[in-house]
């Protein structure tokens, strides 16, 4: 049985709030790089960039990272080194994916690294946290949370 925990209206409102939080954290920056973790973190990152464009004149570079192919990250070095970077995923559970991505990005020498997600499940096995979180949700390990983008963005708990 699926339970809706965030519908499209709430997701949009949450994305706007996170965009304002990014702006508050990076207000002195001329440019920010927003990196989405494949696959659904890329969609979340794109929505954040769209919202940042509505509220700020700050330049935003968009990038994607696949934690199963971190060798590709070297191509993004110019967008990361010495810059403020926002790493985005849809759902953080154990922290493994976010930790691996953050570690690879940190090795590229960013000025600051901010992590963001729509839902944080708090089932940590790794010492990483989401700096900007839409919803913190206590679930059992057997439950699954999924962002479905089409036809309308919705986050389900199964």
CATH number of the domain encompassing residue 52 = 3.40.50.2020
Mean pLDDT over 6-30 rounds to 96
What's the pLDDT score for residue 76? 83
* 147 occurs within a structural domain: no
Q: How many domains does the chain have?
A: 1
What's the pLDDT score for residue 33? 96
* 153 occurs within a structural domain: no
Phi and psi torsions of 149, nearest 5°: -90, -40
* 46 occurs within a structural domain: yes
What's the pLDDT score for residue 20? 98
Q: From CA 142, how far away is CA 59, in angstroms rounded?
A: 41
* 132 occurs within a structural domain: yes
Mean pLDDT over 134-140 rounds to 90
Kindly list the distances between the CA atom of residue 116 and the CA atoms of 48, 83, 95, in Å, as whole numbers in the listed order.
10, 17, 12
* 43 occurs within a structural domain: yes
Provide, rounded to the nearest whole percent, the portion of the chain with pLDDT above 90. Answer: 79
> 145 and 137 in contact (C-beta within 8 Å)?
yes
Domain span holding position 132: 8-137
Is the confidence at residue 14, as pLDDT, over 90? Answer: yes
What's the pLDDT score for residue 78? 85
* 152 occurs within a structural domain: no
User: pLDDT class for 153, splitting at 50, 70, 90?
Assistant: very high
* 1 occurs within a structural domain: no
Kindly list the distances between the CA atom of residue 90 and the CA atoms of 36, 40, 71, 101, 158, in Å, as whole numbers in the listed order.
9, 6, 22, 14, 16
What's the pLDDT score for residue 139? 86
What's the pLDDT score for residue 1? 82
* 76 occurs within a structural domain: yes
pLDDT tens track for 19-75 = 999 999 999 999 999 999 999 999 999 999 999 999 999 999 999 999 998 877 778
């Amino acid at each position: 049985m699926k339970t809706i925990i965030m519908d499209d209206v709430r997701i949009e409102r949450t994305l706007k709030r996170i965009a304002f939080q990014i702006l508050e954290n990076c207000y002195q920056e001329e440019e920010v790089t927003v990196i989405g973790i494949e696959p659904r973190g890329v969609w979340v990152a794109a929505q954040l960039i769209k919202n940042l464009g509505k509220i700020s004149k700050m330049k935003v570079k968009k990038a994607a990272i696949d934690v199963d192919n971190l060798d590709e990250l070297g191509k993004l070095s110019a967008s990361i080194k010495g810059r403020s970077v926002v790493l985005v995923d849809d759902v953080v559970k154990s922290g493994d994916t976010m930790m691996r991505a953050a570690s690879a990005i940190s090795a590229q020498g960013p000025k600051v690294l901010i992590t963001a997600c729509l839902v944080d499940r708090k089932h940590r096995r790794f010492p990483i946290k989401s700096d900007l979180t839409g919803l913190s949700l206590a679930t059992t390990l057997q439950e699954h949370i999924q962002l479905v983008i089409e036809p309308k963005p919705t986050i389900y708990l199964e």
